[in-house]
Structure 1
Amino acid sequence: MCVVPWVASGCGSAGDDAVAQGGTFQFVSPGGQTVITYDPPASRQRIADVSGPDVVTDQTVGLNDFAGKVVVINVWGSWCGPCRGEADDLEHVYAQNKTSGVEFLGINLRDNRQAAKDFIVDRKVAFPSIYDFAGITLAALTTPTSVVPTTIVLDRDHRPAAVFLKAITADELGATVQRVVAEPVTQRP
């Protein structure tokens, strides 16, 4: 795990788990855990929309592009050794699940744009990533901005079902994604 020596926003201590402030998800890591799950689904809160320029195309991409789909958000940097190590696992789980209503969205942090593009091309990453040099998009997630990589699995209503504050394996992520895909579809207003 890479620890970035700056923090764009702090975590509150408003409870033992994720809490809602104004109906929006606010992350809290209970007891310093690195794998946190949020169940039952009815207890989850939506996260704020995140969007920004795609690393490769410079077109705006964000959660709203994936309405009604399970979304895996991965925060990464080309400078991060564990991020390089998990890239193949993420791509494997993405390829296995993209036809099942699952999308992936990366958030690239603290890279110059060319280094981020090179990472995507060299590792044949097929899913989009937001270019977020300064961490402004990342701050909207309310997860620790100092932990890279971070992976968040959102349910179809874009509520966090699981947060991984560490590098992730294909087996670990695949099982979590399948569990969230199998959840009953809720009625959206």
Structure 2
Amino acid sequence: MTRRFALVRGSGISGTPKRARVLAALLSCLVLGTVATACATGDDAVATGGTFDFVSPGGQTEILYDPPADRGTIGNLTGENLMDEGQTLSLSDFEGQVVVVNLWGQWCGPCRGEADDLEKVYEATKDQGVAFLGINVKDPQRDKPQDFVTNYGVTFPSIWDPSMRSLGALGGSYPTSVIPSTLILDRQHRVAAVYLTALLADDLQPVVERIAAEQ
């Protein structure tokens, strides 16, 4: 299937204290030698279904997949609830909603930098039929990511996936080595946008609202 793409408005770092904090977090990961585009970890996952075929034209890190008819669906995304042991979270729990899927780890500086931005957009858009679903990766013990959620006031749920096994739902070509990254799924749970970088609310919210408004 031929796909058409448009680059999302850039998320430059200079100009505001918030952007400076995001830059500082990125640099801290670079010093540790743990970033590719942001922080890197693990191997790419194996596809487990769905029709989404990730493509990043020219190595772009912010991509829109348009028109909607050309979007692919991800596979069966499911896993254990980070905050509620024994409870399962699945993409199917959010039927008919736009879903913002964020891959994060408490060990990742840029993830800390974007946490309040994600929460801000979630609070601003949840009444428009938008859900957020985190996927916590590479945290072998639950207590540290649980503390992250509490300390940063994150109110949307996350799947606990230390082995990154659930990310097979994103397809074999999705660069799961890049943390943080974010996918925006439309109401049919087709991939409408991908960000392979930390996000600011001013960059994310307009795109989420536009996708939520699609007929």
TM-score under structure 2 length normalisation: 0.77
Q: 2:81, 2:158 within 8 Å by CA — same for their partners in 1?
A: yes
Count of aligned positions: 175
Tell me what 1:63 maps to.
Answer: 91
Q: Unaligned stretches of 5+ in structure 2?
A: 1-36
Distance 1:176 1:79 in 2: 27
Matches within 5 A, 1:92-131: 92-111=120-139, 112-131=141-160
TM-score under structure 1 length normalisation: 0.88
Question: Deviation above 4 Å: which 4+ runs of structure 1?
Answer: none
- CA RMSD in angstroms comes to 1.7
**C-alpha displacement of 1:5:** 4.2
Tell me what 1:174 maps to.
Answer: 205
Q: 1:139, 1:145 within 8 Å by CA — same for their partners in 2?
A: no
Tell me what 1:147 maps to.
Answer: 178
1:26 aligns to 2:57 (yes or no): no
Tell me what 2:110 maps to.
Answer: 82
1:133 aligns to 2:169 (yes or no): no
Tell me what 2:8 maps to.
Answer: none
**C-alpha displacement of 1:91:** 0.2
2:125 alignment partner, SS class? helix
**C-alpha displacement of 1:23:** 5.9
Distance 2:203 2:138 in 1: 26
Percent sequence identity over aligned pairs: 53
Segment of structure 1 superposing worse, 136-145 or 99-108 = 136-145
Q: Name whichever structure is richer in helix by fraction.
A: 2
1:156 to 187, 190, 204: 187
Tell me what 2:71 maps to.
Answer: 44
Distance 1:165 1:128 in 2: 21
Distance 2:133 2:101 in 1: 5
Distance 1:2 1:34 in 2: 10
**C-alpha displacement of 1:150:** 0.4
1:153-183 C-alpha deviation (Å, 9 max, x unpaired)? 0000000110000001101110110110111
Q: 1:8, 1:136 within 8 Å by CA — same for their partners in 2?
A: no
2:150 alignment partner, SS class? helix
**C-alpha displacement of 1:10:** 7.2
